[in-house]
Amino acid sequence: MQPAIAVREVTKTYTEGSASVTALRGIDLDVHAGEVVMLMGPSGSGKTTLLSIMGCILASTGGSVRIAGIEVTQLREKELPRVRLEHIGFVFQGFNLFPTLTAGENVELMLDLKKEPQAAAKKRAQELLENVGLAEKYKSFPADLSGGQKQRIAIARALACDPEIVLADEPTAALDSHTGKNVMQMLADLAHKRDRAVVIVTHDPRVLEFADRTIRIEDGLVAGYSAKKPSSAISEFYPAVGAAAEPAEVRGV
Amino acid sequence: MPPLAERNLFHDKVRLAVTLTGIVFAVVLIVVELGLFVGFMKTTSNLIDHSNADLWVTSINVPYVEQGVPFSERKLYQVRAIPGVQDAEKYISDWVEWKRPDGRQETVQIVGMDIDKDMGLPWNLVQGKLGDLKRPDAIFVDEVYKEKLGATHIGQIVEINHRRARIVGFTRGIRAFTTSPYVFTMFKRAQDYARLPENQTTYILVKVAPGAEINEVRREILAQVKDVQVVTSAEFSHMTQFYWMFTTGAGIAVLLAAVLGLVVGFVVVAQTIYATTVDHLKEFGTLKAMGAPNSYVYRVITRQAAISAVIGYVLGMIVSAFVVHASQGGGAPIELPLPMAIGMFFLTLTMCIGAGMISISKVTRLDPAMVFKG
């Protein structure tokens, strides 16, 4: 089966004037529908850069990125929003809800981007809020919602266009542990019950139990990987000794 | 589309107030500066624009209305004899000295005409009747210059070039571009005040007969009357405006102020609209990350700018109307003709949307890391 995300030899170098910083040094990674992949690693290791590249927000310097079978490195910049809209849903650390729109309108906005008629968009937004258990908050503004509720609205919004891929950046960072677990369960259910490919960048070891695979990134390289569903700690990572030593799903072979 | 632009604008009332204040300030500034320019332009050619004449016959090379050079009245009869001329009348405009009651002298522009005809008459008469000018020594002055001339009331006796004059009426809003106010009187008396020989005039005003071609009549006058210049009212108006506004440099200053008003107005609007957009930069970044094409984000920003423009314009024009009204009693008129008001609407819209476009470049270059960091 074709992976939802296929990353091959991806490099990224940021250049400013004569200075340049290499953020990714050749990453291989496949993510399949129905699995939760977590990206871990210290700050500045390149996790968010990798997530941005997989989200078609940032162009890689080299290598290949296929999203739902589409080679996105070959696309022109103006073609990328369409790929994001149709194939990728985003969940952000800070929720990134539009504070001036109600919860329902935040979800409707995504459908408007896809040119859904207004009535159909309202109905679909209502359904999505029901799915995350917040149907009664349709007309509430984000400022009136708790952190957990905001993240559930953000998840509803990410799913509005029915994407195959959900990319989440530190989705539990702003939440208490109980709410964080609920949100993680919701993301895991997206993968396991609704067959989405879910990639999560996190620093939070408490959420590792929800991962099917965990990839550790250090200095722009895959530094290790975990067996399926590690019980608790990062220490269970196997060291990666070059790409050849990685298991197939990490190398993407 | 969910009302993102409207909500972005109206959600933060303080920010909205700051944005609208900026736009209102810009609108009022531009209206005042442009209005002053238009006002001065119109002031310079007031006499010509209200003359009701089709053609002006002047001495050769007269550049503007205040610079009339006397010529023989015999030319009047020659003009009247030309086919296509319905009526022709003598008209005087000349500098004379006005003596205030306190003895101080002021230079005024004496304007003389035949009040039984309908060319070159004073207008906006607020005290007295036109027929009163037939009374001995009768003159009209404008109430704007009451203080400058020491004119206080109807019946007041004053002195012009050492001759007696009596104020029999006041006009309203007939300003002169120079510091010398207009004083209206009968032709013969104006001739006397200006110390012109009895057979001399400075202008002949011509009314062309219905159906006659103005340019044809002009050619005939030039062919049959020697040593004169013949210009249409529109041309003479333009010549006079051009002289005062550009040749003297006086208008350049006003024009520069108007241009400066435009620039400052645009900068103020650009700053406020830019700040409004930057306030929502993270949201625009999120929109883009979620898959909104640039055109969608541009539409939101443009809509925000256009709504700000419309509200700012309406409020700005209300304030401007008060300023324009207040200026009518003073020496510096601010004009706000309908075409300028309409033009201001499109200018405000263009400024706001243009400023929005400047901020769009900021949105276009958004750092994706910004989107992912809480």
Structure tokens at A184: 């993680």
Long-range contact list for B125-128, CB < 8 A, 24+ apart? B125/B169, B125/B170, B125/B171, B125/B172, B126/B170, B126/B171, B126/B172, B127/B154, B127/B169, B127/B170, B128/B154, B128/B168, B128/B169, B128/B170
Angle at B190 between CA B187 and CA B195, to 5 degrees: 125
Whether B84 and B208 have beta carbons less than 8 Å apart is answered as yes
Residues 6+ apart with CB under 8 A from A134: A103, A149, A152, A153, A156
What is the CB neighbour count within 10 angstroms for residue A221?
18
- Cα–Cα distances (Å) from A205 to A40, A43, A234, in that order, read 9, 14, 7
Structure tokens at A162: 């029915």
Residue type, A64: S
Residue of B nearest to A93 (CA): B374
Q: Decide if A100 and B1 are in contact by the 8 Å CB cutoff.
A: no
Distance from the Cα of B43 to chain A's closest Cα (Å) equals 51
Whether B177 and B146 have beta carbons less than 8 Å apart is answered as no
Q: Decide if B368 and A58 are in contact by the 8 Å CB cutoff.
A: yes
Residue of B nearest to A89 (CA): B290
Least Cα distance to B194 among B166, B156, B223, B162 occurs for: B162
Q: Decide if B283 and A110 are in contact by the 8 Å CB cutoff.
A: no
pLDDT digits (tens, 9 = 90+) for B317-352: 999 999 998 887 766 788 899 999 999 999 999 989
Q: Decide if A101 and B369 are in contact by the 8 Å CB cutoff.
A: no
Gyration radius of chain A's alpha carbons: 18
Chain A residues with CB under 8 Å of B373 CB are 48, 93-94
Q: Decide if B283 and A51 are in contact by the 8 Å CB cutoff.
A: no
Q: Which of residues 245-284 of B touch A (CB under 8 A)?
A: 282-283
Whether A147 and A93 have beta carbons less than 8 Å apart is answered as no
Residues 6+ apart with CB under 8 A from B289: A55, A57, A84, A90, A96, B368, B371
Among the partner-chain residues B294, B368, B374, the one whose CB lies closest to the CB of A170 is B374
Query: What distance in Å separates the CA atoms of residue B110 and residue B99, rounded to the nearest whole number?
Result: 13
What is the per-residue pLDDT for B103? 87
Structure tokens at A61: 């310097």
Query: What distance in Å separates the CA atoms of residue B157 and residue B175, rounded to the nearest whole number?
Result: 22
Query: What distance in Å separates the CA atoms of residue B299 and residue B289, rounded to the nearest whole number?
Result: 16
Distance from the Cα of B311 to chain A's closest Cα (Å) equals 20
Angle at A79 between CA A1 and CA A71, to 5 degrees: 30
Query: Residue B259: in which H helix or E strand, if any?
Result: helix B250-279
Q: Residue A139: exposed, middle, or buried by beta-carbon count in 10 A (0-12, 13-18, 19+)?
A: exposed
Least Cα distance to B183 among B196, B197, B199, B194 occurs for: B194
Q: Which ranges of chain A have pLDDT less than 70?
A: 227-253
Q: Which of residues 309-368 of B touch A (CB under 8 A)?
A: 368
Chain A residues with CB under 8 Å of B11 CB are 99-100
Among the partner-chain residues A51, A100, A110, the one whose CB lies closest to the CB of B372 is A51
Q: Residue B272: exposed, middle, or buried by beta-carbon count in 10 A (0-12, 13-18, 19+)?
A: buried
Mutation target vs A (from B284, B365, B372, B373; most A CBs, 10 A cutoff): B372
How, if at all, do strands B203-208 and B85-99 pair?
Answer: antiparallel
Distance from the Cα of B340 to chain A's closest Cα (Å) equals 37
Q: Decide if B374 and A93 are in contact by the 8 Å CB cutoff.
A: yes
- CA neighbours within 13 Å on the CB side: how many for B358? 15
Q: Decide if A84 and B291 are in contact by the 8 Å CB cutoff.
A: yes
Distance from the Cα of B8 to chain A's closest Cα (Å) equals 6
Least Cα distance to B184 among B203, B198, B165, B201 occurs for: B165
Structure tokens at A152: 């559930």
ipTM more than 0.90?
no
Mutation target vs B (from A109, A141, A153; most B CBs, 10 A cutoff): A109
Q: Decide if A90 and B374 are in contact by the 8 Å CB cutoff.
A: no
Angle at B42 between CA B37 and CA B43, to 5 degrees: 95
Q: Decide if A88 and B291 are in contact by the 8 Å CB cutoff.
A: yes
Among the partner-chain residues B2, B4, B372, the one whose CB lies closest to the CB of A92 is B372
What is the per-residue pLDDT for B370? 65
Q: Is B372 on the interface with A (CB under 8 A)?
A: yes
Q: What is the DSSP string of B307-346?
A: HHHHHHHHHHHHHHHHHHHHHTTSSS-----HHHHHHHHH
β-strand partners of B343: none
Token match 């609209």: residue? Answer: B273
Q: Which ranges of chain B have pLDDT less than 50?
A: none
DSSP tag of A234: G
Q: Residue B42: exposed, middle, or buried by beta-carbon count in 10 A (0-12, 13-18, 19+)?
A: middle
What is the CB neighbour count within 10 angstroms for residue B112?
29
Q: Decide if B293 and A174 are in contact by the 8 Å CB cutoff.
A: no
What is the per-residue pLDDT for A178? 84
Chain A residues with CB under 8 Å of B363 CB are none
What is the per-residue pLDDT for A242? 38
Distance from the Cα of B368 to chain A's closest Cα (Å) equals 6
Q: Decide if A86 and B369 are in contact by the 8 Å CB cutoff.
A: no
Whether A147 and A174 have beta carbons less than 8 Å apart is answered as yes
Distance from the Cα of A58 to chain B's closest Cα (Å) equals 7
What is the per-residue pLDDT for B314? 97
Residues 6+ apart with CB under 8 A from B30: B258, B261, B262, B265, B344, B347
- In whole angstroms, what separates CA A168 from the centre of its chain? 3
Query: What distance in Å separates the CA atoms of residue B170 and residue B141, rounded to the nearest whole number?
Result: 5
Whether A188 and A157 have beta carbons less than 8 Å apart is answered as no
Mutation target vs B (from A96, A97, A112; most B CBs, 10 A cutoff): A96
Phi-psi map region of B142: left, alpha, beta (phi>0 left; psi -120 to 50 alpha)? beta
Residue of A nearest to B366 (CA): A57
Distance from the Cα of A89 to chain B's closest Cα (Å) equals 7
Whether B175 and B144 have beta carbons less than 8 Å apart is answered as yes
Least Cα distance to B190 among B139, B252, B224, B225 occurs for: B139
Least Cα distance to B56 among B196, B181, B225 occurs for: B225
Residue of B nearest to A55 (CA): B289
Q: Decide if A92 and B371 are in contact by the 8 Å CB cutoff.
A: yes
Query: What distance in Å separates the CA atoms of residue A22 and residue A60, rounded to the nearest whole number?
Result: 11
pLDDT digits (tens, 9 = 90+) for B65-99: 888 899 998 999 999 999 999 999 999 999 999 99
Mutation target vs A (from B16, B276, B290, B297; most A CBs, 10 A cutoff): B290
Among the partner-chain residues B2, B11, B374, the one whose CB lies closest to the CB of A109 is B2
**E strand map for A44-121:** 62-67, 70-71, 88-91
